[in-house]
Structure 1
Amino acid sequence: MGKTISCSVLLTLISCFSLQFGTALDTITPSKSIKDPESIISQSGVFRLGFFSFANSSNRYVGILYNQIPVQTVVWVANRNKPLKDSSGILNISDDGNLVFLNGKAEILWSSNVTNLVPNATTAQLLNSGNLVLNNGGGSSLWESFQDPSNAFIETMEIGTDVKKGRKVELKSWKSIDDPSDGNFSFAIEPFNIPEGIIRKNNKLYFRTGPWNGNIFLGVILTGYLDGFYMAADNQQQTYYLTYKFSNNSMSMYYELNSQGKFVERQWDAGKGDWINRYPILQTDCDDYGKCGPFGICDSTKRPICSCLKGFKPRNIEGWSKGNWSSGCLRTTPLQCQRDSNNGSETGQGDDGFLKLKMMKVPAFPDRSSLINRDCKDQCLKNCSCVAYAYDDGIGCMFWGGDLIDVQKFSTRGVDLYIRLPSSELDKGKSKKLIVFTTAIAGIVIITISAFFLWCRMAKQRGRNKIWKQIKLQFYSENVEENLIGVKLQQLPLFNFEELATATDNFHDTKKLGQGGFGPVYRGTLDDGKEIAVKRLSKASGQGLEEFMNEVVVISKLQHRNLVRLFGCCVEGEEKMLVYEYMPNTSLNAFLFDSSKPDVLDWRKCFNIIEGISRGLLYLHRDSRLKIIHRDLKASNILLDEELNPKISDFGMARIFGANENQANTKRIVGTYGYMSPEYAMRGQFSEKSDVFSFGVLLLEIVSGKKNTSFYNNEYDLSLLGYAWKLWNEGSIWDLVDKDISEFESDSKNEKEIRRCIHVGLLCVQEYAKDRPNMSTVVSILNSEISNLDTPKQPAFTQIPLITHDVGNKISLNDVTLTNFDGR
């Protein structure tokens, strides 16, 4: 008790002292300094400025550390290159107004080094952001630790360059994990012609992120999601900086340039009591700048990783064979326009063409133009020094006029790069293809003459070609947008009506798996024994050729373990059918809501289904080559394989977004009421957050075992979301959990996981789209990578039961997709 009173008295005296002399516990003034081992702490308590040593050293440093984390975590060091050998250090405001670090002999080891200060008028304050700021008497900033960082990139810090003022803020790596002196690597934003992030090793270019397109850096492949990153670029003022701000303010996380030159994400895991290190940028053997030299291309999936671009050969064959690729490649044939120029021709264009390389990291140092895509090629051809071009929606045309350096082949994403070559080089490839094609035709003719069964096979193939012509004719006759045929449909297998009728016993009722808004789905078996599911467009369906073709185009482009696989399609006369892989356990809808089904969904299976759906959605929104908004996510569109792994299906309503498109409006509301977000149902606005809302509803259905519309006319007169919200506010959210799960889940880990899922579900169904997490954050939360969660706000549709529109006096209770309403 005596100790408690003493502490209270001491705190009171400190408070009185602070009030009397106008100082704060987060501030250093001319009259208040800190001596080793004293410190000051930011008002929020997150950061402290003080003295420290590393475990294997007696050297003393002064710097900024995380205050509430038990593991010593340093984010800024003042005297990083001048350690103190004893504990005599003092940090104070000098007579000239600078913040200085002195040893016991009053020698300056470090200074803020600002000129023309007013003596006795400056103070140094540690802000809640972790920024140490030197202020004048008027409160304006004179110097900031954020402008002179160490190796840590903290939230709201700006890494950037001011060309006019000649200022550059860059990260500098430590020499090792327990030696904060300047290491070999630095990270900065270089404006070039288009801003890029650059890592230098011993002041030489070591790694480049590729140009910033307003949304991402084009030259990196992310293994995760860089939360809240933003690049500000003012070309007129010539200022460029990179910063970030987390959407979740409760987690401790920052980025670090480590001593090996890698950009590391560090996130505190309270459960493990340690930092988790993650590399958000994919690390490959091609990271080193200019690995393959001029006109060389690096592909980490091949051995050797370096090769010459088509139309080029190694400059140093001996060195190239030994794995020394730095000399690069040179052209085997000069460009035609160069030969025309040498012969006195004034065209400058000659007979050159372009080779298209897909999914590339574009070369270094492009010039840019605001021209639209179709004009890039003509502009490049007009300039004989232009050797390549590329186009990105956020940048415009990019041109290269010298050596192409740091060209890399990506396995996903990337940009289409067009390399200028003389027509003779392009024709070589065409000639080879022509020879192969001619040989194949000759072989087919010979075989056809000698074998009647092959003739029948070819006749069947001709019949399929007629079907493709019919598809295209119908497609254009219904005025469907042309860009839906962007996929090469000929690559998708075609089935004829007869073989699908045979496979399904003429679409017998015993083969019927279910019925949706599209039409009935039948189980079938092909001649080779492969089991299939045939979705047959009903004549009474409100959906037509547009939805049919949309699903063909979208799903044929996608490949993911949690998306259903499309085998092919059939279009004959008025028949339109899609052929999928067969899912023996039908849909999630049956397991959740069909009372005749056995109770096989324990919590582990439920959680596996939730995780699988979230990964499938994340792929659609971020990781696929196309950005897809599903728009009709619901339990009946989640199919289950033999091991109850989930697969998202039914892409008839899906919408493909452009690279820089985040939201769209529509006058044609499609989807299922009860799963539709309020901004979509009411205003026709949809985005990734629309799917997030649907996922949240689905998640709460899985946990509760209750259908959204089962709350119609219930005793609370609430929707499922309203019921969940009521229980959340009453502190009895466990009552939401399905009894078949809760009665058998006594494991504390499972209970914690279930509560976390309910929390995620409520975050996803918040009324305003901006409040909902994206799927990247959802996946991180489900994987326990984020421990501190935001408090959910009131969900949408909490006050009314979720019945849907009354169409012709028929109430639709979210079993069938609706497509015939106009958004207001």
Structure 2
Amino acid sequence: MSITNQIHVLIQNYHSNIRMHGSYMLCRAKRTEGISLVNSLAWNMSLKECEELRLKNCSCKAYANLDIRNGGSGCLLWFADLVDLVVLQMGGQDLYIRVAALVLDHVEKNKHFGHKNQVIIIVCSAILLMVMLAAGLICMQDETKKGRKEDMELPIFDLTIISNATDNFASNKKLGEDQTKSKLLDWCMCHNIIGGIVRGLLYLHEDSRLRIIHRDLKVSNILLNNNMNPKISDFGLVIAFGGDQTEANANRIVGTYGYMPPEYAKYGHFLVKTYVFSFGVLVLEIVSRKKNKEFCNFGQCLNLLGYAWRLWIEDRPTELIDEFLILGDSCILFEVLRYIHVGLLCVQQRPEDRPNISSVVLMLSSGNSLPNPGQPGFYTEKAPLAEHYSSRKLEASSTNEITFTLLEAR
């Protein structure tokens, strides 16, 4: 429909609206932009004067400026139907059309209500979105708390079930006490585990961008997958050396006793190759299947490191090897003895005497001759307890006596 027909229908609707509702039509105007105008005119009148003239005659249906140059001048009035209007894409001028007050108020109210409804919709949508986000966060927190609660809850077993499963708490059912299970972990598996550990340390100490010092390397921090491949775990205490840094001091001693090198346990001082000491402890523990921290040779009161070193210098290192590890295979025995030799080199008292991790890899993978190991860290030899107590029997002693008097009433 053309703009002329639209305006014509609009004006007819205004008149129809007046007849139907009996409303009084006020002489108000609505501006329509971009219209080409052709009609009777009056020169020498401003737009304001044209509007005043239109207000005096309510039969006037529209008005506009005759000349839009220099702010506009002249007055063009329409008293008949608007049938000669053309909408231009560019240019044109403003046309002021008479609109019924009732209809104009209705249109303005609809605009106001439309804007108000739009604001209400936006506000309601924002509130709904915030409620949904809050509900989602609450659900996530509830799930997290529920998961933590489930993790903290330990399973409860009946005492009868535990007694039946452990053969009435037999000593051979304790974890690590069943010696027959040691046969399952032969030297081939142990060799693979030690090799995986040393390769991991080589990466951390020399191949990574920063030199990573684990500070808590021990058996319980070595995880095995289904193929018995080792993975170093628990990096909560690591420190990183940057650039050419090779040593540092710790403000607080952390780690596990039995695996700490002496210079760190005593003074908090550590080097890049300080934790080669921990690897040496691991090797000796795997070969002997005994823990350094719990081991005690009652004949000489030595820890595992001192006991292994004494056996080595006395040419009895085979006594350190677990009986199920080699089962009489002489070829395996030679390799196990070399691993013991490397382990003793790693746990020497002086840090400068210990090999770095790359040298350890070379020692384990080649057949080159190795230097004799020196005294291990924390090596202390004590007199046997029996001799200690027997020597005290020879010392002079005296006897002290005391008398108690008990009074009783008659």
TM-score between the two structures when normalised by the length of structure 1: 0.27
Q: What is residue 148 of structure 2 aligned with on the other side?
A: 501
Q: Give the deviation of 1:689 after TM superposition.
A: 2.0
Contact 2:257-2:293 within 8 A present in 1 as well: no
**Residue identity opposite 1:780 in structure 2:** L
Q: Distance in 1 between matches of 2:178 and 2:357?
A: 33
CA spacing shift, 1:499–1:462, aligned 2, 3 Å: closer
In structure 2, what is the equivalent of residue 633 of structure 1? 217
| Matching residue of 1:704 | 288
1:737 aligns with 2:321: yes
- Tell me the CA shift for residue 656 of structure 1: 1.2
Matched-pair contact (CA < 8 Å) for 1:711–1:717: no
Q: Which residue of 1 aligns with 2:365?
A: 783
The separation in 2 between residues aligned to 1:593 and 1:698, in whole angstroms, is 19
Q: Pairwise mapping of residues 503-518 of structure 1 onto structure 2 (< 5 A)?
A: 505-510=150-155
Distance 1:781 1:461 in 2: 57
Q: Give aligned-pair identity as a percent.
A: 49
**Distance of 1:700 and 1:457 partners within structure 2:** 57
Q: Which residue of 2 aligns with 1:717?
A: 301
- One-letter identity of the residue aligned with 2:267: R
Higher share of residues assigned helix: 2
Residue pairs, 1:214-613, within 5 angstroms: 497-498=144-145, 500-501=147-148, 505-510=150-155, 594-596=176-178, 598-599=181-182, 600-613=184-197
Q: What is the aligned-residue RMSD (CA, Å)?
A: 3.2
Paired amino acid for 1:791: N
CA distance in 2, matches of 1:763, 1:782: 12
How many angstroms does 1:620 deviate by? 0.9
Q: Which amino acid aligns with 1:776?
A: S
Alignment of 1:46-195 (within 5 A): none
Distance between the aligned counterparts of 2:362 and 2:247, measured in 1?
23
Partner of 2:228: 644
Q: Distance in 1 between matches of 2:280 and 2:143?
A: 40
Q: Matches of 1:736 and 1:778 in 2, distance apart?
A: 21
Aligned counterpart for 1:792 among listed residues 349, 368, 373: 373
**Which structure has more RCO (C-alpha within 8 Å, separation ≥ 6)?**
2
Q: CA deviation at 1:644?
A: 1.9
Deviation at 1:681, TM superposition (A): 1.1
AA at the equivalent of 1:740: F
Of 595, 610, 619, which aligns to 2:203?
A: 619
| Alpha-carbon distance change, 752 to 660 in structure 1, aligned in 2, over 3 angstroms | same
- 1:496, CA displacement in angstroms? 6.8
2:324 maps to 1:759: no
Q: Which runs of 5+ in 2 are unaligned?
A: 1-124, 157-173, 383-410
Alignment partners' CA distance in 2, 1:685 and 1:721: 21
Q: 1:728 aligns with which of 291, 312, 320?
A: 312
Between the two proteins, the alignment pairs up a number of residues equal to 237
Q: Deviation of residue 462 (structure 1)?
A: 10
Distance change (3 Å), C-alpha of 1:732 and 1:679:
same
C-alpha offsets along residues 520-569 of structure 1, whole Å, 9 cap, x if unaligned? xxxxxxxxxxxxxxxxxxxxxxxxxxxxxxxxxxxxxxxxxxxxxxxxxx
Distance in 2, Cα, partners of 1:458 & 1:610: 52
Q: Distance in 1 between matches of 2:245 and 2:220?
A: 29
3-state SS in 2 of match to 1:608: helix
Inter-CA distance 459–617: structure 2 relative to 1 (3 Å threshold): farther
Shift of 1:693: 0.3
**SS of alignment partner, residue 293 of structure 2:** helix
Give the Å deviation of 1:593. Answer: 7.6
Structure 1 residue 501 displacement after superposition? 3.1
**Counterpart residue identity of residue 206, structure 2:** R
Aligned pair in 2 of structure 1 residues 735, 671: CA closer, same or farther (>3 Å)?
A: same
Question: 1:723 touches 1:798 (CA, 8 Å); kept in 2?
Answer: no
Letter in 2 for 1:608: N
Counterpart CA distance in 2 for 1:646 and 1:457 is 44
Q: Is the contact between residue 675 and residue 697 of structure 1 (CA under 8 Å) also seen in structure 2? A: yes
Equivalent residues of 1:676, 1:693 under 8 A apart: yes
Match of 2:264 among 680, 689, 701: 680
Q: CA deviation at 1:605?
A: 0.6
1:460 Cα offset (Å): 5.2
CA distance in 2, matches of 1:704, 1:607: 13
| Amino acid of the structure 2 residue aligned with 1:610 | I
CA shift, 1:667, in A, is 2.6
Q: 2:255 aligns with which of 657, 662, 671?
A: 671
What per-residue deviation string (whole Å, max 9, x for no partner) do you get for residues 220-254 of structure 1?
xxxxxxxxxxxxxxxxxxxxxxxxxxxxxxxxxxx
Distance 2:346 2:354 in 1: 5
1: CA distance between counterparts of 2:235 and 2:143?
Answer: 22
Q: CA 1:594–1:789 in structure 2 vs 1: closer, same or farther (change >3 Å)? A: same
Query: How far 1:635 moved relative to its partner?
Result: 1.0
Distance 2:191 2:133 in 1: 48
1:691/1:496 Cα in 2 relative to 1: closer, same or farther (>3 Å)?
farther
Corresponding position of 2:246: 662
Cα distance in 2, alignment partners of residues 693 and 681 from structure 1: 12
Contact 2:296/2:303, CA 8 A, preserved across alignment: yes
Please give the per-residue CA displacement for 1:49-85, whole angstroms capped at 9, x wherever unaligned. Answer: xxxxxxxxxxxxxxxxxxxxxxxxxxxxxxxxxxxxx
1:738–1:456 CA distance, 2 compared to 1 (3 A)? farther
Q: Measure, in 2, the Cα distance between the counterparts of 1:457 and 1:754.
A: 62
Distance 1:765 1:501, change over 3 A: same
Give the direction of change, closer, same or farther, for the CA distance of 1:596–1:498 in structure 2 (3 Å limit). Answer: farther
Aligned in 2, Cα 1:499/1:642: closer, same or farther, shift over 3 Å? farther
Distance 1:456 1:687 in 2: 55
- Secondary structure in 2 aligned to 1:639? strand
CA distance in 1: counterparts of 2:176 and 2:254, whole angstroms: 26
Q: Distance in 1 between matches of 2:242 and 2:143?
A: 34
Equivalent residue, structure 2, for 1:123: none
Q: Distance in 1 between matches of 2:196 and 2:242?
A: 25
Instruction: Select between 765-774 and 710-719 the one with higher mean Cα deviation.
Output: 710-719
| SS of match in other structure, 1:686 | strand
Structure 1 residues without counterparts, runs of 5 or longer:
1-448, 468-494, 512-591, 802-824
Cα distance in structure 1, aligned partners of 2:343 and 2:146: 44
Shift of 1:691: 1.1
Is residue 593–residue 707 contact of structure 1 (8 Å, CA) maintained in 2?
Answer: no
C-alpha distance 739-456 of structure 1, shift in aligned 2 (>3 A): farther
Larger radius of gyration: 2
Distance 1:593 1:696 in 2: 24
State the partner residue of 1:537.
Answer: none
- Give me the whole-angstrom Cα distance separating, in 1, the residues matched to 2:297 and 2:316: 22
CA drift of 1:612 comes to 0.8
Instruction: Tell me how far apart the structure 2 counterparts of residues 593 and 719 of structure 1 sit (CA, whole Å).
Output: 22
Inter-CA distance 606–625: structure 2 relative to 1 (3 Å threshold): same
